[in-house]
Amino acid sequence: MPLPKVDTKDWEAEIGFYQQASKTQIATRAKNLKMLPHSYEKRMRERGVLRDAKTPAIEPEVQTVYTPYPKFDIKPFKSPKKDRDEEDIVIVTTDKHFAKVTESYNIEIAKARMGKLLDSAMSIINLHRPIRKAWVFELGDIGQGENPYQGSKIGEVECGAFEQVYEVGVPILSRFLTSLAGGVGEVELIGVSGNHGVYDKIATKGTNWDNFLLKALESSLVNQRNIHIRTPKEFYQLVNIKGFRFFLIHGNQVFAQQGIPLFAMRRKMQEWYAYLGGFNYGYAGHFHTGAYDQVNSHADYTICPPLVTGDSWALEKIGRASSPVQLAFGVHSEYGRTWEYKLRTDKKFMPQKYDEPEGVITQ
């Protein structure tokens, strides 16, 4: 079918249609004329007819049909509180083994990791303010010690116990605690002693390098009125924070069965729970790996990862390579332990990404 003849009423109507038509309408008109859309538009241009650029093409209105559906009871977001509830922060640090030498650990790396831990703790304090007080749970094996039967042989340790205490441990921990004290009202370190601090099997209970280090730390901070060091009198410490009990041990009191510490740890925790008249949360180190379990329906316990890495003991005894992760959490006067963080202290041990598109993986 040809286009209408010029100077006819049909031609005038064709011009009006073309100048106002949408792309969809033009395609339909071209089909009726048995033309392709571009051929139709070319023929109109050849006759001197241009589309009206000032008048937008009117697309046909899309009719949307809604299917009736039950009304959802959608809960709106509440506006954030202007005044947050005050909490305390607890930082759990363990198994630093200062002066231990492995392919991925030495004194300088330990300093850097403690610096990273401090940066993370400061960020969390600012994020969760108001923070009344910072508690530091020091779960033992601060220094590597000197016992050759515990990996302190020549080539596996950078310095002796005296240097570990006065030249490494005290300066690093003093900086950590005094820096925290600059951002909160009070800092309290609760310490237990580890097995690497034991000088000899026949030594008395108090003769432990961790105890010497904590006492030296206390002396170095004697003029810091808002920092307190609590040294252990037993193998454990029982701490009350905002009405909730925290039970702290190093963990060497528990012997792993078939390389798995959880079975033996749960049984020991249940016994200690009964002996102490109950607690809410238990924390231990020693095994150079992280784990969590229930004591009963009222309490749980956490085995905390170490700061040291590359120590063959964990790989031989537990079958797991350690990762330098330390813990932090909040304590609320009503809810007890609230938010929790696993603080990675070394970027070399960050989780590795997979090189694949984001979304659901189909096999």
> What is the structure's pLDDT at 55?
47
Cα 134 to Cα 110, 180, 228, 338, distances in angstroms: 22, 7, 11, 15
Query: Do 298 and 227 fall within a single domain?
Result: yes
Are residue 39 and residue 96 in the same domain, yes or no? no
Q: Is residue 357 part of a domain?
A: no
- pLDDT of amino acid 327: 98
* 3-state SS record for 77-109: CCCCCCCCCCEEEEEEECCCCECECECCECHHH
User: Looking at residues 350-358, what average pLDDT do you find?
Assistant: 90
CATH code of the domain covering residue 211: 3.60.21.10
Residues 172 and 47 reside in one and the same domain: no
Domain boundary among the residues 44, 60, 76 is at: 60
- Is the same domain home to 122 and 250? yes
Tell me how many degrees the CA angle 119-333-226 measures, rounded to the nearest 5: 50
Closest C-alpha to 194, from 183, 209, 215, 213: 209
| Cα–Cα distance, 329 to 309 (Å, whole number) | 23
Single-letter amino acid code for the residue at 27? A
| Residue 300 and residue 293 in contact, taking contact as beta carbons nearer than 8 Å | yes
**Which DSSP helix (H) or strand (E) runs through 17?**
helix 9-20
Tens of pLDDT, residues 102-145 = 999 999 999 999 999 999 999 999 999 999 999 999 999 999 99
Q: List pLDDT tens digits, range 4-19.
A: 888 888 888 888 888 8
Task: For residues 163 and 221, state if they share a domain.
Answer: yes
**Does residue 58 have a pLDDT over 70?**
no
* Per-residue pLDDT at 52: 64
pLDDT at 247: 98
CA atoms within 13 A on the CB side of 169: 33
Q: Is residue 4 domain-shared with residue 153, that is, in the same domain?
A: no
Look at residue 318 and tell me if it is in a domain: yes
**Average pLDDT of the residues in 23-36:** 86
- Same domain? 219 vs 117: yes
Of residues 65 and 267, the one with the higher pLDDT is 267
Report the candidate in 311, 307, 316 with the shortest Cα–Cα distance to residue 118.
Answer: 307
What is the total count of domains within the chain? 2
359 or 340: which carries more pLDDT confidence?
Answer: 340
Q: Are residues 215 and 327 in the same domain?
A: yes
Entry pTM = 0.78
Task: Specify if 335 maps to a domain.
Answer: yes
- 229: number of Cβ within 10 Å: 23
Q: What is the pLDDT of residue 322?
A: 85
Banded model confidence at residue 173, pLDDT cuts 50, 70, 90: very high
Same domain, 205 and 254: yes
Its domain, for residue 34, covers 1-60
> What's the mean pLDDT when you consider all of the chain?
90
| pLDDT of 155 over the 70 cut | yes
SS3 50: coil
Q: Where are the beta strands (DSSP E) in the chain?
A: 87-93, 131-138, 186-191, 227-230, 236-241, 244-249, 281-284, 291-296, 299-303, 325-332, 336-344
